[in-house]
Chain A
Amino acid sequence: MKNYGFILLCAILLMASCKKDDSNQDKSDGKGYEVITDDHLSGTVLAVDAFPESIRKVFILNQGKMGSNGASLDILRTKDGNYVCGIFKKMNPDEGAGLGDVGNDIAVLGDEIWIVVNNSGIVDVISARNEREIAAITVPTPRCIAFDEKYAYVTSWAGASYGGSSNPKGRVYRIDIATKKVIDSVEVGHQPEGLAAYGGKLFVANSGGLTLPPDYSYDKDLSIIDTRTFTVSSTLEVAPNLQKVYSDGKGRIYVSTYCDYASINSALYAIDGKEPEEAVLLGEYASITAMHGGTVYCIGNKKELDWTADPEWTSWKCSGGVKSDWNPGFDSSVSPYSIGALSEDLFLIGDAGNYEEPGTVYCYSKGSKLWSVTSGVIPGAYAAW
């Protein structure tokens, strides 16, 4: 009941804020904090001249160290260039435990931001305007999120473990965007990660990263779900340890794979989204990827199979199924952990440092560094609104 009232309150306040249309007058909801916008919160002021006008805010999701309840959300407000850390906690003081444990994925849907909090079992929906929580949806061990017109789809590692199998398969949960309720789920492969929707199909990457004895093998299959029947219609073998899936919106699906830490490098593959029959290798070294405007940007480490060696970073991009050069402009002092692609020549690169202390987000425009800023612990995913 408390939640409904809260949603109602948020909805009313949201409507109010829509009418005022970005006026700087903040209003209090009576609890002593402003809720219409987060304009009253300031942080490090950064140069945002290179940012396209279409971007009002960039959301940076920090994973936090597992078990520390340390997932946090940062924002970069392009109106005044303020980079504000830990904004979820600041704007939701009544949600004492904060975002939760391990923030894994973030996506924009209209004026909503959907955040997948892996180890809390929560998909948190917040307002893009003021980061106030709209809904917290329960999904066990959620990993990644994608949308079609009516539904949100969330991959989950744990859904099938009730069966008592020693080698549990994961599931994809289907959430109604309007009601924010889980309405269905379907079993896919082992430890599903990224997913993308295109043309009535969902393409789900199965990693198999936790496959138990006696198999010890990564999953190689992409599960293809028919969204009308919400069943797995086919599977397509790609390569071991699938990670991210992107749709370029023009019928091409890109799938990235991690290395198997033994002999197979990370890579990017392309698949025909209309008739998914084979996966074509586009290039190796694609452990960190992001998509913007139909182009996939890849960063990889040529020494990824030998973790005692110093990394040797390489970067490239792929558009229309064609690989080409891309140099975001970072140097050897940066250890990339994540990319946020904001335009064709504006990128954020997250450096997780030692995965324990707060990380650093670097901004590159046209191949040169604009600035860097201290983020939360393990900056891992980005969304532009």
Chain B
Amino acid sequence: MVRNVRGNPRRIRSLVVLRAILTTVVLLFSLASAYGDEADTLRSSRVVSVKSYPVVKPAETVRLDDFPAPPEMVADVIRRFTGVQVKDYGGAGGLKTVNVRSLGSEHVGIFIDGIKIDNAQNMQVDLGRFSTRGISSVALYNSRKSSRMQTAAEYSAGASVHLDTDRPRHRDGCGGVFRLRGGSFASVNPSLQWDHELGPVTLRASAEFLYNNGKYKYPFFDTTLVRENGDIRSLRLETQLFAAPRGGDIRLRIYAYGSERGFPGPVIRRAMGFPLSAERQADQNFFVQGSWTQDWGERYSTALRLKYANDYIHYNTHPENNPMALPYDLHYRQQSAFLSLSQSVLIAESFAIDLAADVQRNSLDSDAGQFVTPRRTTANGALSARFSLEDFRAEANISYIGAWDRFKTPDAGGWSMKDSFRGAWMPSISVYAAPAKWLEADLFAKYTCRLPSFNDLYYSLIGNSALKPEYAAQFGADVSLSAETAHWNGILRLSPYYNRVTNKILAIPTASQFRWSMLNIGKADITGLDVKIENNFTAGQFNAQLTLRYTLQKALNLSDQESISWKNQLPYIPLHSGSADLTLGWRKWQLGWNTILNGKRWSNSANLDEFLLAPWSVTDISLSKTFSLKPFRGRSAPSEITVSANCNNIFNCRYEIVKGYPMPGVNAFLSVEYRL
């Protein structure tokens, strides 16, 4: 069932890339020393500090404040980005994963305030679990976030999505946001957030509850049915601490999330009287993470980060409610501990060396039948050289990941170290140049891998402990042209890219979203072009932003020349996709329009008509008005009430992103937010 592509040519190629990287690093050193001598004379005019400038721009970055009514889930923010496919199983409780430039969602690192969300069980992060409440910005990096003092995990990710929180600031030393939201699917979603400054420390506490019954109509051939067993209840409780000692930044976040949800299951022919699914899952996710970034004088800085996460899942198919259910009542507990130290040495104003080292420990325990208990210790290191002038910047880095696994099978009592070690070198380079004020360009080449997940390796009966890491070689360019007049500025970005994924492990959910069938596709060749046009108009109290995005992606399966799927488009990757975002603001009114277009794609690696999924287009609109109120008693800052309404899928488009999982038709929400 699982086919591995073995081959030494890849290793040779990686050595060639490695040599190129090392040469570049040496070149950068010599360049830097040359500039270092001149640094004093150049500093005022041409040199910008490498400390504050990232080498390349993010592919996408949005501030959630800019939305008239921000999308509820991080997944809904990301799905409009270029080059991105969000796989969505529909409904508030449905799995949502993000795939960047067809690398596969396992290659995408999701970072909260610089620390990766980890899932060794299946290497995928369900973005449906992350609400946009309390997040300040969402950014996507195709190459990498080339700022100083990243964790080594950031260097090893194929693409990264960063969810960042700003340090709260209030004129009165404290302040909060209270919001009530509700609407379609009987959804109720209250949230609150309170910030308090206590001397040098700012504390934030937030809470959010969500109920959604997940019921919506969908067409099933000649009839219309209602999606059942898609309800969710969730509660998120968080506290954060922010402190800024001189030259430093300290953050601590304690996060607890609990949910109980139904999986409505794929829509299939089912005998009358039998439900499609009675599967339910309860989750408890807890993590505590801290970071301490400190400048030790002008030239040396460190960042210390740590995290402990404990994720518990109880999955039950409830055969007593569904005679069709295969009886499962399983408990999983996943734990991870993470420690990272990053150092940055400023050798010259324009040149810095970064060194990052992470260690991580993962474990997964379960009472599932024939469960193989895995443990993994990962060491991840990265060395990076960054060079920065105002109009020319470059970075070269190399990271190494080594993972030691051991596992215990139920039959053979002791720990097995079979196929225990996996290691990989991952080099990358990026160069940025701005030859004119209106023209910026960057280039990157990057070679990364993702480790096989615990499910890939040890899942009973379908796991394969001999799996190798899956490699992604990426080459990308980005040309950005900008222009502006008194009332308008615009940016056109063209980003062609070429990716090759080798040793590819593809996991596709079976009838139950919780179990995965393995498909080792082997090799994929992805050529694409992202186009993005941004426009901003301002005239007096009127402002407008129009962003158009288009992605052309040819993602070909090169696994097996004999196969029917040879050179076919990878499943779920449309050739054409795009989005349009329009935001209009007038005084305290804001109107938002978002249309997403997705071309035809196939649900199967064989591109036959019977597996064709129809193109779809969905339009969401939102309207909000902010009312300023007098300052609350004893406060100096005015308080505000924002009323917003969203109507999603206004044209009631019937569509499926994942085959068998219909998406909701038109739905609407109203929210009232009080900010003081």
Point out residues on A near B: beta carbons under 8 Å: 65-69, 86, 96-101, 117, 119-122, 136, 138-141, 157-159, 161-162, 164, 166, 168, 210-213, 216, 261-262, 307-308, 353-358, 374, 377
Q: Which residue of B lies closest to A352 (CB)?
A: B1
Contacts of B599 in A (CB 8 A): none
Q: Within the complex, what minimum Cβ distance (angstroms) separates A294 from chain B?
A: 34
Q: Is residue B519 contacting chain A, with contact meaning CB distance below 8 A?
A: yes
Given A140-B324, A308-B466, are A101 and B269 neighbors across the interface (CB < 8 Å)?
A: yes
Instruction: Please measure, in the bound complex, the distance between the C-alpha atom of A308 and the C-alpha atom of B463, giving whole angstroms.
Output: 10
For residue B606, CB closer than 8 A to chain A, the reply is: yes
* Cβ–Cβ < 8 Å partners of B294 in chain A: none
What is the CB-to-nearest-CB distance from A118 to chain B, in angstroms, rounded to a whole number? Answer: 9
A67 touches B271 (CB 8 A): no
Known: A65-B510, A161-B320, A168-B327. A100 touches B268 (CB 8 A): yes
In chain B, residues 488-546, which have Cβ atoms closer than 8 Å to a Cβ of chain A? 508-512, 517, 519
Contact indicator A67/B269 (Cβ below 8 Å) = no
Closest Cβ neighbor of A123 among chain B residues: B271
The answer on a CB contact under 8 Å between B323 and A141 is yes
Q: Distance (Å) between the CB of A313 and the closest chain B CB?
A: 16
Output the residue of B319, B465, B517 with the most chain A CB within 10 A. B319
A67 partner, pick from B268, B323, B605, beta carbons under 8 A: B268
B585 proximal to A (CB < 8 A): no
- A164-B320, A216-B370 known; A69+B605 contact, CB < 8 A: no
* Contact A67 B519, CB 8 Å, known A97-B221, A161-B323, A216-B370: no
- B408 CB-CB contact with A under 8 Å: no
Contacts of A212 in B (CB 8 A): 327-329, 369
* Given A100-B270, A140-B324, A356-B517, 10 extra CB contacts under 8 A: A67-B265, A68-B603, A68-B659, A101-B268, A120-B268, A136-B271, A141-B326, A212-B327, A354-B563, A354-B605
Instruction: Say yes or no: A161-B327 contact (C-beta < 8 A), given A211-B369, A358-B564.
Output: yes
Q: Does B272 sit at the interface, judged by CB under 8 A?
A: yes
Contact partner, B271, options A138, A354, A358, Cβ 8 Å: A138
- The reply to whether A138 and B273 contact each other, CB–CB distance below 8 Å, is yes
Which chain B positions have C-beta within 8 A of A66? 510-511
Are A210 and B461 CB-contacts (below 8 A) given A67-B511, A68-B659? no
Could you pull out 11 A-B pairs where Cβ atoms are within 8 angstroms?
A: A65-B517, A97-B221, A99-B269, A121-B270, A121-B323, A138-B271, A140-B271, A168-B319, A307-B1, A308-B466, A354-B605
Chain B residue at minimal CB-CB distance from A64: B268
3 closest pairs, A vs B, by CB?
A96-B221, A67-B511, A100-B269
Asked if B660 is an interface residue, CB under 8 A from chain A, the answer is yes
B320 partner residues in chain A, CB cutoff 8 A: 161-162, 164
Q: Give the CA-CA distance A159 to B324 in the complex, in Å.
A: 9
Q: Which residues of A contact B484 (CB under 8 A)?
A: none
Quick one: given A68-B266, A357-B563, are A158 and B461 in contact (CB under 8 Å)? no
Q: Decide yes or no whether B65 CB sits under 8 A from chain A.
A: no
B565 CB–A CB distance under 8 Å: yes
Q: List B556-575 residues whose CB lies under 8 Å from chain A.
A: 563-565
Residues of B within 8 A of A164 (CB): 320
Q: Does B267 contact A (CB under 8 A)?
A: yes
Interchain nearest-CB distance for B59 vs A (Å): 31
When chains A and B are docked, how far (Å) is the Cα of A100 from the Cα of B220? 13
A96 to B367, CA, bound (A): 40
The residues of A that contact B659 with a CB separation of less than 8 Å are 68
Q: Which of B622-676 contact A (CB under 8 A)?
A: 659-660
Q: Which residues of A contact B24 (CB under 8 A)?
A: none
Residues on A with C-beta less than 8 A from B465 are: 308
B325 interface residue per 8 A CB criterion: yes
Tell me which of A159, A213, A355, A374 has the highest count of chain B C-beta atoms within 10 A of its own C-beta: A213
Please indicate the chain A residues that have their CB under 8 angstroms from the CB of B329 in the complex: 166, 212
Chain A residue nearest to B571 in the complex (CB): A356
Question: With a CB–CB cut-off of 8 A, which chain A residues contact B319?
Answer: 158, 161-162, 168
Complex: A86 Cα to B411 Cα, angstroms? 43
Closest to B272 in A: A138
Docked-complex contact B510 and A354, CB < 8 angstroms: no
Interface size class of B (residues with CB under 8 A): 35 or more
Q: Are A356 and B660 within 8 A (Cβ)?
A: no
Say if the beta carbon of B422 comes within 8 Å of chain A.
no
Contact A158 B510 (CB under 8 A): no
Q: Is the CB of A357 within 8 A of B327?
A: no
Minimal beta-carbon separation of A150 from chain B (angstroms) = 23
B483 at the interface (CB under 8 A from A): no
CB closest chain-A residue, reference B410: A216
Q: In the assembly, what is the distance between CA of A66 and CA of B608, in Å? A: 18
B438: chain A residues at CB < 8 Å are: none
- Which of A119, A261, A374 is B268 in contact with, Cβ under 8 Å? A119
Q: Which residue of B lies closest to A354 (CB)?
A: B519
B245 CB to closest chain A CB, in angstroms? 52
Q: Which among B220, B266, B324, B605 is the interface contact of A357 at CB below 8 angstroms?
A: B605
**Chain A residue contacts of B563, Cβ below 8 A:** 353-354, 357
Distance, CA A384 to CA B564, complexed state (A)? 27
- Shortest beta-carbon distance from B456 to chain A in Å: 13
Report the Cα distance A374→B565, complex, angstroms: 12
Contact A122 B269 (CB under 8 A): yes
Nearest Cβ in chain A — how far from B518, in angstroms? 9
With both chains docked as a complex, state the minimum distance between the C-beta of A20 and any C-beta of chain B, in angstroms.
32
Any A CB within 8 A of the CB of B274: yes
Q: Is B298 an interface residue (CB 8 A)?
A: no
B 300-335 contacts with A by CB, 8 A: 319-320, 323-329
B326–A210 CB distance below 8 A: yes
**Distance between Cα atoms of A357 and B3 in the complex (Å):** 14
B222 at the interface (CB under 8 A from A): yes
Which residues of A sit under 8 angstroms from B373, Cβ to Cβ? Answer: none
For the complex, is B610 an interface residue (Cβ under 8 Å from A)? yes
**Quick check: A67 and B509 within 8 Å, CB to CB?**
yes
B617 on the A face (CB < 8 A): no
* Residues in chain B near residue A157, CB distance under 8 A: 326
Cβ contact within 8 Å between A210 and B327: yes
What is the distance, in angstroms, from A85's C-beta to the closest C-beta of chain B? 9
Q: In the complex, what residues of B have CB within 8 A of residue A374's CB?
A: 564
How far apart sit A138 and B517, CA to CA, in the bound complex (Å)? 28
Let me know if B410 and A140 touch, CB within 8 A.
Answer: no
The reply on B464 being an interface residue by CB < 8 A is yes
Of the candidates A100, A119, A139, A354, the one whose C-beta lies within 8 Å of that of B1 is: A354
**Are A121 and B221 in contact, with the CB atoms below 8 A?**
no
Least Cβ–Cβ distance between A307 and chain B, in angstroms = 7
Would you call A356 and B324 a contact (CB within 8 A)?
Answer: no
B272 to chain A, nearest CB (A): 7
B270 contacts A120, C-beta separation under 8 Å: yes
Check A68/B464 contact, CB under 8 A, given A159-B323, A356-B519: no
- With A101-B269, A120-B269 as contacts: A161 and B510 at CB distance below 8 Å: no
Inside 8 A of B1's CB, which chain A residues have their CB?
307, 354-355
Which residues of chain B (259-286) have a CB below 8 Å from chain A?
265-274
With a cutoff of 8 Å between Cβ atoms, the chain B residues found around residue A96 in the complex are: 220-222
Q: Is the CB of A358 within 8 A of B327?
A: no
A357 vs B602: C-alpha distance when bound (angstroms): 12
Give the distance in Å from the alpha carbon of A69 to the alpha carbon of B659 in the complex: 9
Q: How far is the CB of B610 from chain A (nearest CB, A)?
A: 7
Which A residues touch B268, using CB under 8 A?
67-69, 97, 100-101, 119-120
Bound CA span A164–B270, Å:
23
Contact B464 A355 (CB under 8 A): no
- Choose among B324, B367, B608 the residue that contacts A141 (Cβ–Cβ < 8 A): B324
- Assess the B660–A67 pair: CB atoms within 8 A: yes
**Complex-state Cα separation, A346 to B269, whole angstroms:** 34
The proximity string for B residues 573-616 relative to A, scoring 1 for CB distances below 8 Å and 0 otherwise, is: 00000000000000000000000000000011110101000000
Which residue of chain B is the closest to A308 with respect to CB atoms? B466
Given known A68-B660, A158-B324, A307-B464, contact A357–B604 (CB-CB < 8 A)? yes
By a CB distance below 8 angstroms, the chain B residues around A65 are 510, 517
Q: Pick the contact of A261 from B221, B265, B461 — CB < 8 Å? A: B461
Q: If A212-B369, A308-B466 touch, does A356 touch B220 (CB 8 Å cutoff)?
A: no
